[in-house]
Structure 1
Amino acid sequence: MNTASTAGNKIVLGYIIGGLGSCFFSTKSILIKLALIENVDAITTLTWRMIIALPIFILIGYSGYRYRISKGEDIKLSPKAFLQVGAVGSLGYYVASYLDFAGLNYISAQFDRLIMLTYPIFVVLIGVIFLGRKLNAKLILALSLSYFGLVVIFVRDLQIDGQSTITGALLVLAAALAFAVYQVLAKPHIDRIGARLFTSIAMSAAGVLVIGHFLIANDLSDLILPQKSMMIMFAIATISTVLPAYLISTSIGLVGPEPTAVIGNISTIVTIGLAVSVLGEPFTLWHAIGAAMVLLGVISFTQMDKRAKEAAARKMQTPS
């Protein structure tokens, strides 16, 4: 198998993993809405999420570390590097998560997911402004198509929900920005220490901050929840946190933050389907048109990105 073919397979695998991670992650807003219906507030939900998920992250991270050591890899993780990974993880899974959870108090699950999907715009802009990356006309067109679809749904939902949604929208928009910065900062750390170890350290650091936040703001008795609420907490911790965290980190390692961010748009379809069927949220013709535009934009982007990277691999393989 030549280098170009191997690169192509790696890209396809990265897209599949990123798509799966985004689909699992898209269940989060639905489950949080169900928790809110059960009168469980944002910080309590976030705390239970981390209490359940943290041991899993630590176990998987330790096994990943031992595996890489057994392969003879020299993993250099100084105290400074450890703190850097923890800080990046706290930004993505404490700051962004708390803002997102809080925003869901004010807006629908569909609206929340659509706003969170603006984070690829921030990822791309960060790359262009700070990392010297370039956008070609076709890529801009694909992104524009995808995000114009988001605007169509956004305008319709704003009409349905009213002006009171502005507070929630601003909270979730801030969450999207925080998550975009996290994705950009995560890439070099993932390349150096691997997705499993990175995600374990990052999520563990975020978990410590979340639990500390809860202990300051709440009483321990607030963690005592009915059985139905605990089932929702378990689902949020595993289906919406552990699985997507490792899948998305792996995708970033394979194809980079921008493609991973953009392929995440496809989870719009999953969120809309769950919001309509589980939460009974409205779905109109405008939602259908917008979702179709998002999907077409994502497919166009992934195909162009895949061809560009395969061409680059072939160019490197060709003798000068």
Structure 2
Amino acid sequence: MDRTHAPSWRIAGFALSAAGAMLFAIKGVLIKLIYRFGIDTTSLLAMRMVLAVPVFAAIGVQRWRRLAREARPDARTFGLTMLVGIVGYYISSWLDFQGLQTLDAQIERLILFTYPFLVILFGRLLLAHPLRTHALVGAGLSYVGLFVMFAGEPSRLDRAALLGGAFVALAAVSFALYQLFAREFILRCGASLFTAIAMSAAGVAALLGFFLTHTAAALIPPGGAWPLVVALAVFATIVPAFLMSAGTARIGAQGTAIVSTISPVVTIGVAIAVLDEPFGWPEALGTACVLGGVGLFSLIESRPRSYRAAEEGPA
């Protein structure tokens, strides 16, 4: 039997994807803890990149050398991959980090979690992709959940929290654009090389932004923040990226998307335990709506195209 069809192969894929999703889920909590040391968004993002990018770059060099000359991406593909990486890994991350200055970690994770619907929307607006009913239903349910979470907690309706939510929403927009345009370049470069090029470009952009506004001394975190910054770079960036890639190779992108619904649940649990964030009926109902909307969308998208076409009719 081909090992890619063996149950153990798929079980390992689900386990790897789940582990990666859970590690990604702690990112917001780590950032909130680091902010207590007075570190600003631009400095923290630069610290993260300084630690993470050398690993991705080393892997990229290895992958580049292993490719035959004719299989390597051309200059145009290389440059566009860098641009896509700056949008997805630098701009999106900066907006997300900035939003976490004033927004609860659990709300941040749920807002970001709605990005698949934005991919569908931008695909329709920019590339004339079909806009299907189940995507609209899932998006509606998810955004109702976010409304409930904001409206049900008065403290989230002040200017600071709303501004934080706006930053994270823009991060979701940026990441959706990244997802929409990255697919073509992932196919051209391969996942590992694409990630290496994109992350390296984002790291250079982050450092340029840092040195334009800060002195080099601001790149060194206070002593007590060091373990948290290292954890952010290693356990909430590098390790989960490889786990998710390995999982996707076994169960596919849609399978990974479904498994990733565990991510907000983990964020909420850790945020409550570590940050003492509130969790009452607005959070419970809102979370159920967001997860339900994204889960519905992911499950239908993971079905064979023939079944969806029969249910939805012509695109």
TM-score class normalised by the smaller sequence: 0.7 to 0.9
1:109 aligns with 2:105: yes
Contact 1:35 1:41 in 2 (8 A): no
Query: Which residue does the alignment assign to 1:80?
Result: 76
Deviation sequence 1:56-111 (CA, Å, 0-9, x none): 101222233344x2xx6942322222111111001111111111111212222122
> Structure 2: how far apart are the matches of 1:287 and 1:94?
29
What CA distance in whole angstroms lies between the structure 2 residues aligned with 1:120 and 1:131? 15
Q: Which amino acid aligns with 1:163?
A: D
Q: Is the 8 A contact 1:147 1:294 kept in 2?
A: yes
Pair 292,304 (structure 1): closer, same or farther in 2 beyond 3 Å: same
Is the aligned partner of 1:208 residue 2:204?
yes
1:162 aligned partner: 157
Q: Which amino acid aligns with 1:280?
A: D
Equivalent residue number for residue 58 of structure 1: 57
Compute the displacement of 1:39 (Å).
1.3
**Match of residue 47 from structure 1:** 46
CA change 1:175–1:27 in 2 (3 A) is same
- State the partner residue of 2:278: 282
Write out aligned runs for 1:224-303 (5 A): 224-246=220-242, 255=252, 264-303=260-299
Tell me, yes or no, if the aligned pair for 1:90 and 1:206 is still in contact at 8 Å.
Answer: yes
Specify whether residues 290 and 12 from structure 1 end up closer, same or farther in structure 2 by C-alpha distance, changes over 3 A only.
farther
- The answer to whether the 8 Å contact 2:110/2:290 transfers is no
Report if the CA contact (8 A) 1:123-1:261 is conserved.
no
Question: What residue ranges of structure 2 are gaps of 5+ in the alignment?
Answer: 309-315
Structure 1 Cα separation of the partners of residues 10 and 115 of structure 2: 21
The 1-side partners of 2:216 and 2:264 are apart by 36
Give, in whole Å, the separation in 2 of the partners of 1:243 and 1:306.
26
**What SS does the aligned partner of 2:273 have?**
helix
Contact kept in structure 1, 2:261 and 2:295, CA below 8 Å = no
- Cα separation, partners in 2 of 1:163 and 1:236, compared to 1, 3 Å: same
Q: Which moved more, 1:284-293 or 1:268-277?
A: 284-293
Aligned to 1:315: none
CA distance in 2, matches of 1:21, 1:285: 29
The two structures have a TM-score, normalised by structure 2, of 0.83
Q: What runs of 5+ residues in structure 1 fail to find an aligned partner?
A: 313-320
| TM-score normalised by the chain length of structure 1 | 0.82
Identity of aligned residues (%): 36
Counterpart of 1:205 in 2: which secondary structure?
helix
Residue identity opposite 1:243 in structure 2: V
Cα distance in 2 between the residues matched to 1:263 and 1:139: 18
Matched residue count: 304
The offset of 1:138, in angstroms, is 3.9
Q: Which amino acid aligns with 1:194?
A: G
Distance 1:241 1:306, change over 3 A: same
AA matched with 1:86: M
Q: Distance in 1 between matches of 2:258 and 2:178?
A: 15
Measured after TM superposition, the shift of residue 249 of structure 1 is 6.0
State whether residues 248 and 260 of structure 1, in contact with CA within 8 Å, keep that contact through their aligned partners in structure 2: yes
Instruction: Give the 3 Å change call, closer, same or farther, for CA 232–125 of structure 1 in structure 2.
Output: same
Cα offset for 1:119?
1.9
